[in-house]
């Protein structure tokens, strides 16, 4: 009589089930893709407007539109004229903001300090 191998502990089975992304229908995936493309397009236009001086980085930081809330602060600042990698890193260090911080994830203190430094 053959003996079946023991079943894996429940913790191994449940971990695999919880770490997998939920199944999405084709419609849901296409809607998410469309939304992501729209956000990318709007951000690209915003960066061009910042470079051309048609948009204010101060206003964007103090009252961010929804489509830039998940954008990295570093990416927003690098689009501002006269701000390159070195200056952006220096400014972010001065206000204690990580380069990977998103615009929506900044505290009010960080926003105020950053706008103050950028206005000088």
Domain limits of the chain? 27-119
The alpha carbon of 100 is separated from its chain's Cα centroid by a whole number of angstroms, namely 8
Rounded percentage of the chain residues whose pLDDT exceeds 90: 78
What's the confidence (pLDDT) of residue 107? 95
pTM flag (> 0.85) = no
Over residues 62-68, mean pLDDT = 95
Q: What's the CATH fold of domain 27-119?
A: Helicase, Ruva Protein; domain 3 (1.10.8)
């Amino acid at each position: 009589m053959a003996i079946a191998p023991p079943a894996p502990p429940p913790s191994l089975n449940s971990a695999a089930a919880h770490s997998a992304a939920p199944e999405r229908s084709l419609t849901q995936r296409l809607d998410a893709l469309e939304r992501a493309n729209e956000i990318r397009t709007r951000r690209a236009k915003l960066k061009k407007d910042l470079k051309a001086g048609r948009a204010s980085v101060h206003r964007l930081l103090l009252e961010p539109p929804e489509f830039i809330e998940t954008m990295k602060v570093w990416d927003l600042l690098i689009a501002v004229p006269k701000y390159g990698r070195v200056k952006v890193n220096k400014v972010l260090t001065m206000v204690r903001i990580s380069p990977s911080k998103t615009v929506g994830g900044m505290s009010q203190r960080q926003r105020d300090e950053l706008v103050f430094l950028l206005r000088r």
